[in-house]
Amino acid sequence: MKFIKCSLPGLIICEPKKIKDERGFFTESFRKDLFENFLGSKVEFCQENQSESKYGVLRGLHFQKEPYAQSKLVSVQKGKILDVVVDIRKNSRFYGKYFSIELDDVSNKQLFVPRGFAHGFIVLSNIARVSYKVDNYYNPNSEEGLNYNDPKLDIDWKINKKDIIINEKDLSYSDFNSIDFI
């Protein structure tokens, strides 16, 4: 397993090593000991979520307020997505900046997103199945989100706006400057 630090501190790209032969491939998709060694701290995933979506579906940008904030390890089981995170840590010099990466079922790369980031993704393939482990339980009263199309964030979602499919709840989220991040 290879770990790569991203341009926004705390984000980590995890690249599992694939062992290929005539049968297909094998990979360790997660090794707690190696990951914690690289991270320099413990991580206790307690819930795993999965979604399946069609081309153009945008989910996000979501986050949980304290004390229910969550770190996430995002992976794609089928298809391809553009995974996007926004730094919402007030004391960060990257506050309000975003990072994006394509994740797919070929490279099997994963993205670790620590607490203090809003997260979302858009499906770039016909179908995508996304899975993510979290280190805190979901609490509906703590759920928040950001407007995916906020001009301040200026996120390039990689597809035409007319092709984006988003639900009413995600459309209702406020712009970055309207939210009081705690």
> Where does the chain show beta strands of DSSP type E?
2-5, 12-15, 18-21, 24-27, 47-54, 58-64, 72-78, 80-87, 98-104, 110-113, 117-123, 127-134, 143-145
Q: What is the pTM of this model?
A: 0.95
Task: Give percent of the chain with pLDDT exceeding 90.
Answer: 97
Active site residue 119: no
What digits encode the pLDDT tens for the residues 63-77?
999 999 999 999 999
What was the pLDDT predicted at 180? 79
Q: Which of the residues 98, 119, 132, 173 is marked catalytic?
A: 132
Q: Which of the residues 62, 68, 95, 138 is marked catalytic?
A: 62
What digits encode the pLDDT tens for the residues 96-126?
999 999 999 999 999 999 999 999 999 999 9
